[in-house]
Chains A and B, each alone.
Chain A
Amino acid sequence: MRQTRRDFLKTITRGAVVSALPLGAFKFLSPKEARAAVESTNVRWGFLVDTYKCVGCGFCVKACKLENEVPYDAPVTRTWVERYVILKNGKMLADTPMGGRDGFTEQKVQEQDVPPKDIAKAFFVPKLCNQCENPPCVQVCPVGATYQRADGVVLVDRSWCIGCGYCIMACPYGVRFFHPVYRTAEKCTFCIHRLVKGMNTACVDACPFGARKVGNLKDPNDPVTKVVLNERVAVLKPEYGTKPQAFYIGLDENVR
């Protein structure tokens, strides 16, 4: 049988279309969906910070550095505490020397002497990874070294990270940094190694005032979930669409 090129192409196209049709019956799952289908998903870790209770002692930062082996004297840290001083003229001053590791004993803010009579309000805000529902850091990793667990916690594989820093640039919260020793991207893990053993995070345990709490947002009876559902809480920088899962009580509009 002789075939022209046109006939040949026609047959091929027809064959391809017909054989592709049954494929439409299948649903392609994203890795996240596939994982959700097989793994138990009754846990979603979330964090609750009560800014009214924080006194800026820095115990959480100390505890975190020791627990997670982040060099103690390096200025980088997985969690930190910020001090905000709002003056009566509306001006905002803020600082976080060494991430607030040693507490805030210095009267000067941003190297300025601030007379107490000029201060309208002042408060502390602890920060840590928000374990976003839509984490931009995971999106931009070129090799998939950073990933999100089914329970929402975002981790970094130190054996796979190439150290490009793209995830550091992508995080709107400045949570990530290069680990001074391992030289790979580093971040707060919600002390997942402790959570899976039924313990609290190191910072939660270290906080003498109960300003920090970690909990399972999928459990309606969890104290954290109860507060998030029933009280007025806010998240940091919601405008980036990252859906942060660290909730704040008493978040001021000045907080960055």
Chain B
Amino acid sequence: MIEGYVHGIEWTIKELFVYPNEFIYWSIQIVMYPYMTGLVAGAFVLSSLYHVFGQEDLKDLAKFALVFSFALLIVAPMPLMFHLQQPQRGVQVFFTPHFTSAISAFGIVFFTYSIIVATEIWFVYRKYFVEQALALKGKEGLGNTVMRLIYTTLTLGSYDISEEALHKDEKAIKILAGIGIPVACFLHGYAGFIFGSVKANALWMTPLMPVIFIMSAIVSGIALCMLTYIVIMEWKKFRIKTSKRPWEVTAEEVAGVELNLMRKTSKYLLGFMVAAITLELLDIVFRGYTAVKSWDILRTIIYGKDFFNIFILQYTFGNLLPFLMLLMPRPTVRRLVVALSLVLFGVFMMRWNVVIGGQAFSLTFAGYMHYKLPFWPHNIETYKEGFWGAFTIGVMPFVLFWGINKIVPSLKYK
């Protein structure tokens, strides 16, 4: 009977020569962490494409992407809290940051970014808040009172919705979205830096890591926004078709808008996918060509133990297949849904192959560690760092979005 709890012992299987203290310390939640921040950054960049670069075709998606990125943002630090051995001390990262550590930048970057996104949402919805606050004035009922209080608070006392004021709002939105892009990239680039700067880890250490992370982040963010948008629109179509009361739009109109928008957005998606895959392949080719000391063991991981995960699941099913599906002419909703799900899966596998793959070999370069994801939890650790912990994190943004969307409706389309 071991006194206490040896972290990692339940999901690490060692093979050949491995140091006694080595275990898979960074498990599924550290896969989820860059995955979630990546989605945040990607969703924000998508919304900024409209606000900053005036890509009119993205107008309908931009609002949704912005609000959705806020929901994702709230979830982004949660995997870290699940992962920490002393979660109650997590706030110390904000209060006593040790600036030589890449993680210490988290507090600053995260809050800067949160403020930018929240402010931008406020400017986008200011007119709406004012209208709601005024419309709800004098209405009876507890629900109306609560909503009126919320909207009155959200106006922050600014009721000026003249042409001139709204014009100023738009200017502010543009500036905020403009500042937001580099900050979003930084938020995620630094997540890549956390890994890329670990010199002890032969697989992680490359200056390309932050750039690879940013590119794949944008890919996953755009894909998730598109997918969620499709699901919501399909639901809307379903409701229009099945309900008896008349709607202001027909199901065909919704379908037309939906498909047209998706066709345009998938072009951006393809562009970022090309960038992400190019960088990832460059990394592998470069490692093989330079073949430094660690290459012997890395090769056995990349082409041996993780071959299926890397080349079949990540590159074939996660990249190549959806790439071809998106390139094919005359897209259908069904094909888009499959392709987008595969893209999301591909980016998840990329995170998995980096985080878990980076711990698949020992620091001895003469042994391996195999990760066995705990499924049914039998204690708090196997829940937090198991399948269901990751699942909890995965559904959280959608739950939050549902709630936030009640106050700032982001799915009004024209």
Contact = CB atoms under 8 A, between A and B. Distances in A.
A141 B98 contact: yes
Contacts of A76: 6, 20-21
A174 B103 contact: no
B364 interface: yes
B412 interface: no
A256 B3 contact: no
Nearest to B20: A99
Interface stretch (A9-17, A162-170, A197-205, A216-224): A162-170
A39 B2 CA distance: 41
A120 B101 CA distance: 45
Interface residues of B, number: 49
Contacts of A170: 198-200
A28 to B, nearest CB: 14
Chain B contact surface mostly: loop
A141 B194 CA distance: 11
A143 B364 contact: no
Given A143-B92, A170-B200, A96 B19 contact: yes
Given A75-B20, A172-B200, A163 B26 contact: no
Given A71-B4, A170-B198, A256-B17, A162 B86 contact: yes
Given A163-B84, A178-B85, A143 B93 contact: yes
Contact of B200 (A73, A80, A142, A169): A169
A136 B200 contact: yes
A174 B16 contact: no
A95 B17 contact: yes
A75 B6 contact: yes
A36 interface: no
B92 A174 contact: no
Interface string B51-93: 0000000000000000000000000000010011111011011
Contacts of B197: 140
A139 interface: yes
Given A164-B83, A165-B25, A178-B85, A183 B5 contact: yes
Contacts of A169: 25-26, 198, 200-201
B106 interface: yes
A179 interface: yes
Given A142-B103, A144-B98, A162 B89 contact: yes
Nearest to A159: B89
B86 A161 contact: yes
A181 interface: yes
A143 B4 contact: no
Interface string A149-173: 0000000000011111110111111
A179 B17 contact: no
B21 A177 contact: yes
Given A95-B17, A142-B103, A256 B363 contact: yes
A173 B92 CA distance: 27
A245 interface: no
A240 interface: yes
A179 B1 contact: no
A94 interface: yes
Contact of B364 (A74, A142, A241, A256): A256
B22 interface: yes
Interface in B1-36: 1-9, 16-17, 19-23, 25-26
Nearest to B95: A143
Contacts of A99: 20
B100 interface: yes
A56 to B, nearest CB: 14
A186 to B, nearest CB: 9
Interface string B345-384: 0000000000000000011111000000000000000000
Contacts of B201: 169
A92 interface: yes
B238 to A, nearest CB: 45
Interface string A228-248: 000000000001110000000
Interface string B375-402: 0000000000000000000000000000
Contact of B2 (A71, A176, A239): A71
B23 to A, nearest CB: 8
B4 A141 contact: no
Contacts of B84: 162-164
B2 A74 contact: yes
Contact of A180 (B5, B25, B96, B366): B5
Given A75-B20, A95-B17, A179 B89 contact: no
Nearest to B80: A164
Interface string B135-175: 00000000000000000000000000000000000000000
Interface string B186-208: 00000000100111110000000
B86 A163 contact: yes
A42 interface: no
B97 interface: yes
A72 B17 CA distance: 21
B119 interface: no
Contacts of A141: 98, 101
Contacts of B198: 140, 169-170
Contacts of B365: 256
14 contacts: A75-B9, A76-B6, A96-B20, A99-B20, A140-B197, A143-B97, A161-B86, A163-B89, A164-B83, A165-B7, A169-B200, A174-B19, A174-B363, A240-B200
Given A75-B20, A162-B90, A174-B22, 9 more contacts: A73-B3, A77-B21, A96-B19, A98-B20, A143-B92, A143-B96, A161-B86, A165-B83, A184-B85
Interface of B: 1-9, 16-17, 19-23, 25-26, 80, 83-87, 89-90, 92-93, 96-98, 100-104, 106, 194, 197-201, 293, 362-366
What 4 pairs between A and B have smallest CB-CB spacing?
A163-B85, A180-B4, A174-B19, A142-B103
Interface of A: 71-77, 80, 92-96, 98-99, 110, 127, 136, 138-144, 160-166, 168-181, 183-184, 239-241, 256
